[in-house]
Amino acid sequence: MSLTARTAALLSPLVWRTHARTARRLHAFAQAEHGSMLDMRLAAAATPSAARAAAYLRHADDEARHAQIFAKQAQRAAAAAPRPRALPPVSADSERLFERLGERDFLAFVHHGEARALAQFEAYERYFAAVGRDHESALFSAVMVDERRHSRYTRELLLQLAGDEASARAALRRVRRWELGRLWLRAGRALAERLYVLTMLLVYLLAAPLGLLLRLVRPHRRGWSVAPKGP
């Protein structure tokens, strides 16, 4: 069992404990699937091969469907929570991975991501089956059918583009390193953001007298602020 699967299995009771947590988690999956859909569509537009474009479009279509399924289930969970609240619409940014990594490494990245998602989803499916939450278990089973196909075809295409097994493995190692680097940068950014917020709050407090002064010297203008020349 991979580290991803072990972690997912270990954390499942915590992650899926309440309706509210379930809703948050499923909504996060919906966002991730939506982001992946965007990347696959951009890849379809960017690849010179019509055959690969078709494969990416099929993949994007699956991701769009997964996003929809997760979002719908998240809404249900949110509505069942003791304090029901509407979840925001599913939206995500593309990481423009094709552009940044090139097609071979993009495929390696997608393959790696699909394999990881599969391991995670298998752990969740087992957990839900064990605790008798059949609806959620069936949801992950359905999604996993596609994930397996994605993992398979991306591996085939990666081998085609890389030329041989060794080059494909090298590409996979490269994207793992790239991903670690991205994780490091993200952690740094998250920390910096928190520090920044604290610093800015301090600046805000120090600027209080300036705020009072501004109210006096620059009051809100009402009506026309450029004097009309006409009658």
Partner 1 sequence: MAVVLGISGNYHDAAAALVIDGQVVAAIQEERLSRIKNDAGLPIAAALACLDHAGVDPRAVDRLAFYEDPVAKLERVLVHLLKNMPRTWRAFPRALASQLGVKIWALDHLSESLGVPRDRVVALDHHRSHAASAFFASPYQEAAVLVVDGVGEAHATTLWSGRGHQLDLLASVDFPHSLGLLYAGLTAWLGFAVNEGEYKVMGLAAFGDPSRLRDVFLQKIIHLQGDGSYQLDLACFAHMSDAELGFGPALERLLGPRRPQAKPWDLGDPADRRYADAAAALQSVLEDTLLGLAGRALQLSGARHLCLAGGVALNARANARISQFLRTRGGDAGDGRLFVQPAAGDAGGALGAALLASAELGDPRPPPLQSAALGLPVDPARALEIARHLGLAPRRVDDPCQEAARRICDGQLVAFVQGRFEWGPRALGQRSLLASPRELATRERLNRVIKQREPFRPFAPAVLSQETSQFFAAEPDDLTPFMTTTAPVLPAALPRLRAVTHVDGSARLQTVEAARAPELHALLTGLEGLGEAPIALNTSLNGAGEPIVASAEDALAFWLRHGVDAMIIGDLLLERTR
The binding site for partner 1 (CB under 8 A) comprises: 38, 41-42, 44-45, 50-51, 53-55, 57-58, 60-61, 64-65, 75, 86-91, 93-94, 193, 196-197, 200-201, 204, 207-208, 210-212, 214-215, 218, 220-231
Q: Whole-number minimum distance, CB 93 to partner 1, in Å?
A: 6
Q: Which is nearer to partner 1, 135 or 220 (CB)?
A: 220
Q: Whole-number minimum distance, CB 197 to partner 1, in Å?
A: 4
Distance of alpha carbon 28 from alpha carbon 21, whole angstroms: 11
Q: Are 150 and 36 in contact (CB under 8 A)?
A: no
Q: Which is nearer to partner 1, 3 or 208 (CB)?
A: 208
Per residue in 99-126, is it b (16+ CB within 10 Å) or e — as a string?
Answer: eebebbbbbbbbbbbbbbbbbbbbbbbb
- Taking CA atoms, 32 is separated from 9, 37, 67, 207, 230, in Å, by 20, 9, 8, 40, 57
Q: Which is nearer to partner 1, 89 or 132 (CB)?
A: 89
Joined tokens for residue 144? 């996993």
Q: Whole-number minimum distance, CB 96 to partner 1, in Å?
A: 8
Q: Whole-number minimum distance, CB 157 to partner 1, in Å?
A: 13
Return the number of other C-beta atoms located less than 10 Å from residue 23's C-beta: 22
Q: Which is nearer to partner 1, 131 or 200 (CB)?
A: 200
Q: Whole-number minimum distance, CB 20 to partner 1, in Å?
A: 17
Joined tokens for residue 215? 């109210």
Q: Which is nearer to partner 1, 152 or 177 (CB)?
A: 152
